[in-house]
């Protein structure tokens, strides 16, 4: 057993760090590290910077234009990006539809879609959930009826993250209503500019616009946009869900937020002394730090098993649950750390360059909204209750 990274892995980390140091624009970094609003332009610009470096697809094989990095290198890359404060790479293209197209798509689909994901030209979003189909995803009802050389799609998807910026949406649609629910689902790629597609915003509890409803009314989708075989979509969906492993625990992001929390706790005062010296607060902070240490090693164990080609299994559920619990705990402690100054809620102060009169320390402004927003993490991507079902059934065999 050796819990240290190899010499080559350390050199790789240095290379990544040097690149980020040289290539990450300061304004982007500032917005991310201070919890300010990150405009979509940042996300696209950062993808293009990585693309020009040849790192546009950190988790993709070289044959598709990716880096060919093993899971440990992917982990190191994501950790360094998180620490440096890069905008988040959009998972919808790189980690979701990209791998599905690679594995199950045809050559024409490879050529048409994959390069534009790497270059940042296409913004993808994910059309899975429906109002009546959340945890019970297989009950979905958005209908795709084959008519000659196209499908006619009608239905409603919901919780579509950043659909308002998307060029394309990949959807699970029902192509067969007979038989078992899972057996009648197909995986369809739909151009968001198609007539009959409507995006309706959902206002979140922090006042933000992050997710949407997407409505389809008799939307014509060419048959060549079907991935793989008709009615095999559930298999592809399961492949996709099992694919986003390297960063599901969000270790890098949580390490960055832990540093931010410590910085805030050193600035804040309790009884005239630094809050970081308060035994109550220090104990809470230490507990989260220890949980994060444990999860990092657990995460590396899972990655290492994956690198040795042992099947990556339901451990991802464990990483997701603990990872989101830690992310949420960090936002709770930040809110607690700033005391009464967590309460003012000025949406305009979350925009970079806000010039209004200051209220409390600058770092306090986004914290309560972030705390509220991060409640989503234990709900999305398979709620933590669903993840516990997976652990019970797949790991414990109950």
Partner 1 sequence: MHFNLTDEQRALSDMVQRFLSQEYASDARRKILRSPEGWSREIWGKLGEMGLMALQVPEEQGGMAPATVETLLTMGAMGKALVVEPYLSSAVIGTALVRGLGTPAQRDALLPAMATGERIAVPAHGEAGSRHDLSRVATTARRGGAGWILDGRKAVVLHAPAADLLLVTARTAGAGDAQAGLSVFVVPATAPGVKLIPYPTIDGQRGADVVLSGVELPADALLGQEGQAFEGISAAFDLGVAALCAEAVGVLQATLDATTEYTRTRKQFGVPIARFQALQHRMADMLMHVEQARSMSYLAAMHASSTDVKERRRMVSAAKVTVGQACRYVGQQAVQLHGGMGVTDELAVSHCFKRLLAIELSLGDTDHHLERFITESK
User: Residue from 148, 179, 353, 357 that binds partner 1 (CB under 8 A)?
Assistant: 357
Under the criterion CB under 8 A, does residue 132 sit at the interface with partner 1? yes
Assign 228 to helix, strand or coil: coil
As measured in angstroms, the least distance from the Cβ of 142 to partner 1 is 17
- The answer to whether residues 45 and 28 touch, using CB atoms and an 8 Å cutoff, is yes
Under the criterion CB under 8 A, does residue 383 sit at the interface with partner 1? yes
Residues 82, 254: Cα–Cα separation, whole Å: 9
Under the criterion CB under 8 A, does residue 10 sit at the interface with partner 1? no
As measured in angstroms, the least distance from the Cβ of 270 to partner 1 is 5
CB atoms within 10 A of CB 272: 5
When the beta carbons of 221 and 329 are compared against partner 1, the nearer one is 329
As measured in angstroms, the least distance from the Cβ of 171 to partner 1 is 17
Ramachandran angles phi, psi of 217, nearest 5° = -125, 105
For residues 207 to 236, the per-residue mask of contacts with partner 1, x marking binding by CB under 8 A and - elsewhere, is: x---x-------------------------
Could you tell me which of 99, 90, 107, 102 has the C-alpha nearest to residue 51? 90
Task: Tell me the β-bridge partners of 220.
Answer: 152
CB atoms within 10 A of CB 126: 23
User: Residue from 39, 196, 312, 360 that binds partner 1 (CB under 8 A)?
Assistant: 360
Residues 264, 132: Cα–Cα separation, whole Å: 42
Under the criterion CB under 8 A, does residue 286 sit at the interface with partner 1? no
Task: Tell me the β-bridge partners of 393.
Answer: none
**Which span (75-83, 215-223, 239-247, 357-365) binds partner 1, by CB under 8 A?**
357-365
- The answer to whether residues 323 and 251 touch, using CB atoms and an 8 Å cutoff, is yes
Query: Residue 23 contacts by C-beta under 8 Å, 6 or more apart in sequence?
Result: 49, 53
Check the CA dihedral 23-29-31-37 and report its sign.
positive
As measured in angstroms, the least distance from the Cβ of 135 to partner 1 is 5
Under the criterion CB under 8 A, does residue 343 sit at the interface with partner 1? yes
User: Residue from 13, 339, 352, 354 that binds partner 1 (CB under 8 A)?
Assistant: 339
Under the criterion CB under 8 A, does residue 388 sit at the interface with partner 1? yes
Under the criterion CB under 8 A, does residue 277 sit at the interface with partner 1? no
Query: Residue 68 contacts by C-beta under 8 Å, 6 or more apart in sequence?
Result: 60, 61, 62
When the beta carbons of 110 and 346 are compared against partner 1, the nearer one is 346
Q: What is the CA radius of gyration of the chain?
A: 22
How many residues line the site for partner 1 (CB under 8 A)? 53
User: Residue from 148, 179, 272, 397 that binds partner 1 (CB under 8 A)?
Assistant: 272
As measured in angstroms, the least distance from the Cβ of 347 to partner 1 is 9
Check the CA dihedral 339-344-345-351 and report its sign.
negative
When the beta carbons of 109 and 133 are compared against partner 1, the nearer one is 133
Residues 317, 312: Cα–Cα separation, whole Å: 11
Q: Which residues bind partner 1 (CB under 8 A)?
A: 129, 132-136, 139, 158-159, 202-205, 207, 211, 268-272, 275, 278, 280-281, 284, 332, 335-336, 339-346, 357, 359-360, 368-369, 371-373, 375-376, 378-380, 383-385, 388
């Amino acid at each position: 057993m050796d819990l240290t990274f190899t010499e080559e892995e350390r050199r790789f980390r240095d290379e990544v760090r040097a690149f980020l140091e040289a290539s990450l624009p300061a304004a982007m970094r500032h917005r991310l590290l201070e919890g300010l609003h990150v405009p979509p332009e940042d996300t696209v610009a950062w993808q293009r910077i990585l693309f020009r470096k040849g790192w546009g697809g950190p988790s993709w094989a070289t044959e598709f234009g990716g880096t060919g990095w093993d899971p440990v290198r992917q982990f190191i890359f994501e950790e360094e990006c998180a620490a440096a404060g890069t905008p988040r790479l959009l998972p919808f293209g790189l980690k979701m539809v990209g791998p599905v197209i690679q594995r199950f798509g045809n050559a024409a689909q490879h050529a048409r879609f994959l390069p534009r994901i790497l270059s940042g030209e296409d913004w993808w979003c994910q059309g899975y959930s429906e109002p009546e189909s959340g945890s019970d995803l297989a009950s979905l009802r958005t209908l795709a009826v084959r008519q000659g050389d196209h499908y006619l799609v009608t239905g409603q998807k919901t919780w579509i993250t950043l659909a308002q910026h998307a060029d394309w949406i990949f959807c699970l649609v029902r192509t067969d209503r007979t038989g078992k629910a899972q057996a009648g689902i197909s995986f369809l790629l739909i151009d968001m500019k198609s007539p009959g597609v409507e995006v309706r915003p959902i206002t979140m509890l922090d006042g933000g616009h992050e997710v949407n409803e997407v409505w389809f009314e008799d939307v014509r989708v060419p048959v060549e946009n079907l991935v793989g075989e008709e009615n095999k979509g559930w298999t592809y969906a399961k492949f996709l869900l099992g694919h986003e492993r390297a960063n599901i625990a969000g270790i890098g992001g949580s390490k960055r937020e832990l540093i931010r929390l410590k910085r805030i706790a050193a600035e804040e005062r309790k009884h005239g002394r630094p809050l970081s010296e308060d035994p109550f607060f220090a104990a809470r902070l230490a507990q989260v730090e220890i949980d994060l240490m444990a999860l990092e090693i657990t995460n590396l164990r899972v990655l290492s098993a994956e690198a040795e080609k042992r099947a990556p299994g339901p451990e991802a559920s464990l990483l997701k649950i603990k990872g989101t619990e830690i992310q949420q705990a960090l936002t709770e402690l930040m809110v607690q750390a700033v005391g009464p100054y967590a309460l003012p809620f000025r949406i305009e102060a979350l925009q970079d360059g806000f010039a209004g009169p200051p209220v409390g320390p600058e770092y306090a402004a986004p914290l309560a909204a972030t705390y509220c927003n991060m409640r989503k993490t234990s709900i999305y991507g398979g709620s933590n209750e669903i993840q516990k079902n997976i652990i019970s059934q797949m790991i414990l065999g109950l």
